[in-house]
Structures are given as structure tokens and as C-alpha cells.
Amino acid sequence: MARHLLKTRVLSPHMQGKLLCAMTKKLAVIQTTEAALHLSTFVDGRYFSIPGLRTLTDALRIRRAELQTLVDGPKGVEIFGKLMPPISAESEIWGAGVTYLRSRDARKEESGVPDVYQRVYEADRPELFFKSNARRTVGTLGEIGIRADSNESVPEPEVAIVVNIFQEIIGLTICNDVTARSIEGENPLYLSQAKIYSGSTSIGPMITPMWEIEEVNDLGISAHIQRDTEMVWQAQTSLGALHRTFEDLVSYLFRCQVFPDGVILSTGTGIIPPLGISLQDGDVVTISVDKVGVLSNRVVGIPLDIHETTLKSGRNS
């Protein structure tokens, strides 16, 4: 993604703490002067290194029990830097679709072939698709995008699970699976174009370890779109409405696949703006998940010729 779209402000630990719903211990990826992506714990508004672990990739290559021992053990030195999206440089983000009843209904409303969404909702095999990688992903306060060739785009607020190489879920984060709804609605085979483009993925702000969450199904999910001073849409649901289990989704994701550095799987959305509500340049989308945090992003337009303009500007995409 072009760097001019990735304007991420540096917040003090105090301000970053205000973006969290609960002050449970979290895992944060910090950009420091010594390491591009340094894994740390976030405790009481401060970042600390984890003795024995340097990166999120390291954390995803060990068993969850060993990770918990290291994270809950003695804190390392305090570190300072910029909060980054909680994804390792080597990892991928995948998505799951039609995993909530509301998602099924919304897809049927917007599609010219609604039966396909009913069938996948009822099927044993879930809908899974590649969504993004680290280069294409922004964190909280980064800028998400809407395609110039889509006349209706929407946020899709989702809980994402962070999975290690042993297929163990080590924690939860938040994903905004931004979607060009008019493109997907035109033809389900356009899914990749609707889901994968510059500015279509944000995750963050951090990772809440699974052992810090007592009951996953009780976690509330809420989202809203702010346009200047107007709240143009807001909704809420809970993970209890998820039609599939995390374990079922992970099991299918790892079939015939190799994830040598772990993977992040966004588990689908249960709240979608109704037809007629679309993201606009300048909107701010905010997603909150109990005990996980708050993910907030400003919307920008993505021009059709972003590749050419990026090359001319001398910036890497």
C-alpha cells in the first residue's frame, strides 16, 4: 500500500490506553529504533519487552502454554516506540464469510444470486478467503480506503483470531474487513476485487491473550460511522451470535495449507450497514470489542491509478 495512505500517529502510552476497553494485559507490536517490529506486553499504559521473545513471529512458533509462561513471567525492560498493526512481517490475514445470520441476510439482500449465501451458511465447509498481508494492513488510526470503481463500500467489524503454527489460538484482535459491496453484490466471483485492494484491511490495536478472557461468547462487538459531527450508522452484536466455532474455522483453514509463521483469521461480521449507507472520504469508522480494544480508522478514496501515481512519487506500495 502506498505510504501516503499510512499516516499513523504516534500516541503516548496514556493516549493508547484510552483506546482500550479494558486494562487487561495485551500483546503489542512496537516499532522501536532497535527493531522494526518488537513484540511487547502492554501493562498499565506502558510497554515492556518479553524475555525470551523478540517478535510476534517468535511467539507464533511456540506452544501457547510456553507463550503464556513467558508473557506472564517477569517483565523485561520498558520500551518506547510507535504502536504498529499486530501482525508479523511474514504472516497473512485470512477472512471467513457468512458466519453470522445478519451476514447471510445482508449478502442475500445485496446479491443477484442470493442462494449461494444461504447454502454456504448452512454448509459444513465455511467460506474462507485470503484477505491481506502485513504490507497491505494498517493499524488503529491508520487510513482505510474505498475503491473509486465501487459506488457502495462498507466496514465489516470482525473479531480476528491469532493462530500459531500448532493451530492454537493465542489471542484476539479486531479486524475491519472493508468491502466494496457493490462489486461483490454484482457477482460473487468478484469477491477478491471487493475484498483485496489498497486500504481494505485494518487490525488492532493489540492482541488480547486468550487466557485473559473468561468467556469468549460474552464479548460484545459494536461499531459506528462518524461523518463530521453526524453518526450515520451504529450497531452491535456479540460473539455469541457466531454461527461457527473458532476451532471449526481453524480446522478448515489449515486443510492443505502451510502457515510456517502462524496466521490471523478474521471470523466474519455480525453487523453490516443496511443498503443505502456507504463509506465516504473523511468518515471515521470505530469498532469496539469488549476486553480487546478499540480500532478506529479514517476513510480515504483509493484512485484507480494508485499504482502509477505511487511509482511516480517514488514511494513503495
The pLDDT value given to residue 121: 84
pLDDT at 133 > cutoff 50: yes
Q: For the residues 258-277, what does the mean pLDDT come to?
A: 95
Higher pLDDT pick, 103 / 94: 94
CB 268 within 8 Å of CB 158: yes
Q: Which residue has the higher pLDDT, 97 or 20?
A: 97
pLDDT of 21 > 60? The answer is: no
CA dist 160 → 2, 96, 118, 119, 163 (Å): 24, 10, 23, 24, 10
Work out the percent of the chain whose per-residue pLDDT is above 90.
Answer: 78
Mean pLDDT of the chain: 89
Q: pLDDT category, 23, cuts 50, 70, 90?
A: low
Write down the pTM of the prediction: 0.89
* Residue 75 pLDDT grade (very low, low, confident, very high; cuts 50, 70, 90): very high
Burial 4-15 (b: 16+ CB within 10 A, else e): ebbebeebebee
Cα gap 96→124, rounded to integer Å: 13
- Average of per-residue pLDDT across 109-132: 82
| Overall average pLDDT of the 20-44 stretch | 84
pLDDT over 60 at 12, yes or no: no
Q: Average pLDDT of 95-99?
A: 92
Query: What is the reported pLDDT for 252?
Result: 98
The answer to whether residues 241 and 222 touch, using CB atoms and an 8 Å cutoff, is: no
**Residue 42 pLDDT:** 97
Give pLDDT, residue 11: 43
The pLDDT of residue 108 is 54
Q: What pLDDT score does 10 carry?
A: 43
Domains of the chain and any CATH numbers: 87-313 (3.90.850.10)
Paired with 158 in beta bridges are 175, 269
If one compares 22 and 209, the residue with the highest pLDDT of the two is 209
Question: What average pLDDT does range 73-99 have in this prediction?
Answer: 94
| Strand 143-147 relative to strand 137-138, pairing | unpaired
